[in-house]
Amino acid sequence: MAAYVQDVFMLFGDSITQGAWEPGMNGFGERLSHVYARKLDVLNRGYSGYNTEWAIPVLEQCVANHADKNTPKMRVLTVWFGANDACIKPSPQHVPLPKFIANLKQIVSMIHSSESSYYSPDTRILFMTPPPVNTYQRRADLENRNPPLKLDRLFDTTKEYAEAVKNVAEEAKVGLVDVWSALWEAVGKDEKSLSKVLTDGLHLNADGYGIIFEELMKTIAEIYPDVHYEHLGYVFPPWAEINWESPAESLYVTKKVSE
């Protein structure tokens, strides 16, 4: 197993998070891994098709117990759900809006409540709103499948879930990356023009991910500057700062087992 030498930046979400490392997609996960290299380990905890109801049991297994002191600290946690929760009935992915809101609050409580087994008071939480749906693209994509499928998401419904994320973030006093608004404004507030930032009416393309990365970094710089990559040093020193006469003196950032 890998030893603990770096803390982590965890991306928790659905397929839009899972795909954030897809080659050629300019994914925000790929770019985060680059700018946080040697500073924080960026972890992909994205699960295609998942909603918040299914995500909570997973998060309980992805986050270390508070009593375990020998695990990496989770410095940053992004929570990006809603795209699947907002599916319309009879989709099994659908989560009623009140339950979706309750689930988001439970995720925050898991991390920031002192009574939680997963209590991590220093973790910076960032909620991310689901992107707007291009129902023209989405309908065409589903109808071209074999067998053809009916439209499973609505523009206004997803907007309601995005607004819910914003409200919970404000109430819980955690960070917010308003993906919905950023993409909507980028295409001139025109649903058909969302094809410029979405591949299939739901998932982001390279341009969409590029916008989200910039929004994420801007938000971190504004409200959590201590964990912005520009303010974090390398865990292990740059080669020029190594004590060349006695390298071990500058290279052991954790105590040796024998000590």
Q: How far apart are CA 169 and CA 127, in angstroms?
A: 6
122, 200, 207, 231: which is the annotated catalytic residue?
200
Residue 126: both structure tokens together: 């960032």
First-residue to last-residue Cα distance in the chain: 21
How many Å apart are CA 10 and CA 128, to the nearest integer?
13
Catalytic site residue from 94, 112, 203, 228:
203
State the alpha helices, DSSP H only, in 78-205.
97-112, 135-143, 155-172, 179-186
Amino acid of residue 20: A
* Residue of 15, 91, 193, 195 marked catalytic: 15
**Token pair in block for residue 181:** 């608004």
Of all helices (H) and strands (E), which one includes residue 175?
strand 175-177
Residue 200: active-site member = yes
Residue closest to 204 by CA, chosen among 130, 118, 120: 130
Residue 203 a catalytic site member: yes
Q: Is 246 an annotated catalytic residue?
A: no
Residues annotated as part of the active site: 15, 200, 203
